[in-house]
Amino acid sequence: MTKKSISFLLLLCIYSFVNAGTIKIVTTTTDMKSIAELVGGNKVSVSSIATGYQNPHFVDPKPSYIISLTKADLFVTVGLDLETGWSPQLLSSSRNTKIQKGAPGYVDASAGVNLLQVPSAANRAEGDIHIFGNPHYWLDPLNGKIIARNIANGLERVDPGNKSFYETNLQTFFSRIDIKMKEWQTKMAPYKGSKIIAYHNEWVYFETRFSLQIVDFMEPKPGIPPTPSQLVKVIKEVKSNNVKVIISSPYFTTSSSDVVAKQTGVKELTMATSVGAFDSIKDYFSLFDYNIDQLTTALR
Ligand SMILES: [Zn+2]
């Protein structure tokens, strides 16, 4: 046996040892992945199906996603109807009984979240994709604590032997959020009540937490692309409300916001809706660092 093949075997042994007993988590989005990594620490390996610069409502299913779900011990979904178009099909194709809805390895991260914009009746007739309430709740950092609690509960169900480890990490996550919240609130305080237009209705939790005022959306309804009559309406609103900025996300085209900006002089800003939207956003904390820096600069 050559030196090279011996060292390869050694590496293989180390790799299998490190991975033995590791809880494999698959999340639908990168925000869930980041929080799962913070709670799970070195006891878990986590992969996300969607990237941070992808629209989480619309993800093309790939066979590789099914393969990772087949091997997963825990599945974490944002829930409501955020991933309705893709994740239930992937989950059932995996045939992994450990992570199906209702099984110990299934985590709906929305459990216990105080939902906003819950319609009186679920109705998809007009193409609306927020029929159970607004599903973009991870954009309030305090909801991050609820997500973390739900993930810890899931981990403790599938790996009860490490319960105290997960509980300690959870408490560390809670205190980090509390410390950062003070910093974020201080930075945002001068911009309370600032009027904003958003492309898609995905900022209501962020808006509520930081006392902003989203006047309207480029989309006439969530998931329906901007129409000429919506642009006319938005241009009027920008002028009459002294709107300072239109916020969008990496996966929307700027052509319609460009029209409004040209007509009114309003600023355009692409914010990050998820971890990994831009290279500097490595975790759930830097997601808010980035957005708050960008937004306060634009509103200054
Ligand atoms: Zn949405």
Q: Calculate how far, in angstroms, residue 104's C-alpha sits from the geometric centre of ligand 1.
A: 28
Per-residue pLDDT of the chain (300 residues; tens, 9 = 90+): 555 555 555 554 444 444 557 999 999 999 999 999 999 999 999 999 999 999 999 999 999 999 999 999 999 999 999 999 999 999 999 999 999 999 999 999 999 999 999 988 777 665 577 889 999 999 999 999 999 999 999 999 999 999 999 999 999 999 999 999 999 999 999 999 999 999 999 999 999 999 999 999 999 988 899 999 999 999 999 999 999 999 999 999 999 999 999 999 999 999 999 999 999 999 999 999 999 999 999 999
Q: Could you tell me the pTM of the whole model?
A: 0.92
Torsion over CA: 271, 273, 275, 279 (sign): negative
Domains 13-182 and 183-299 share a fold: yes
Q: Calculate how far, in angstroms, residue 227's C-alpha sits from the geometric centre of ligand 1.
A: 18
Q: Calculate how far, in angstroms, residue 166's C-alpha sits from the geometric centre of ligand 1.
A: 31
Q: Calculate how far, in angstroms, residue 128's C-alpha sits from the geometric centre of ligand 1.
A: 9
SS (H, E, C) the chain: CCHHHHHHHHHHHHHHHHHCCCEEEEECCHHHHHHHHHHHHHHEEEEECCCCCCCCCCCCCCHHHHHHHHCCCEEEECCCCCCCCCHHHHHHHHCCHHHCCCCCCEEECCCCCCCCCCCCCCCCCCCCCCECECCCHHHCHHHHHHHHHHHHHHHHHHCHHHHHHHHHHHHHHHHHHHHHHHHHHHHHHHHCCCEEEECCCCCHHHHHHCCCEEEEECCCECCECCCHHHHHHHHHHHHHHCCCEEEECCCCCCHHHHHHHHHHCCEEEECCCCCCCCCCCCCHHHHHHHHHHHHHHHHC
Q: Calculate how far, in angstroms, residue 89's C-alpha sits from the geometric centre of ligand 1.
A: 19
pLDDT at 10: 54
Q: Calculate how far, in angstroms, residue 126's C-alpha sits from the geometric centre of ligand 1.
A: 14
Q: Calculate how far, in angstroms, residue 200's C-alpha sits from the geometric centre of ligand 1.
A: 7
List all residues 6 or more positions away from 136 whose beta carbon is below 8 Å from its beta carbon.
82, 201, 202, 203, 204, 205, 273
Q: Calculate how far, in angstroms, residue 148's C-alpha sits from the geometric centre of ligand 1.
A: 21
Q: Calculate how far, in angstroms, residue 78's C-alpha sits from the geometric centre of ligand 1.
A: 12
Q: Calculate how far, in angstroms, residue 5's C-alpha sits from the geometric centre of ligand 1.
A: 51
Q: Where are the domains of the chain?
A: 13-182, 183-299
Q: Calculate how far, in angstroms, residue 228's C-alpha sits from the geometric centre of ligand 1.
A: 21
Amino acid 285 reads F
Q: Calculate how far, in angstroms, residue 130's C-alpha sits from the geometric centre of ligand 1.
A: 6
pLDDT at 9: 55
**Which residues lie at CB < 5 A from ion ligand 1?**
202, 222
At the topology level of CATH, where does 13-182 sit? Rossmann fold (3.40.50)
In CATH, what class is 183-299? Answer: alpha beta
187, 296 Cβ separation under 8 angstroms: yes
Q: Calculate how far, in angstroms, residue 152's C-alpha sits from the geometric centre of ligand 1.
A: 26
Here the tokens at position 55 are 């629209």
pLDDT at 2: 57
Angstrom distances, CA of residue 194 to CA of 32, 93, 273 = 29, 46, 19
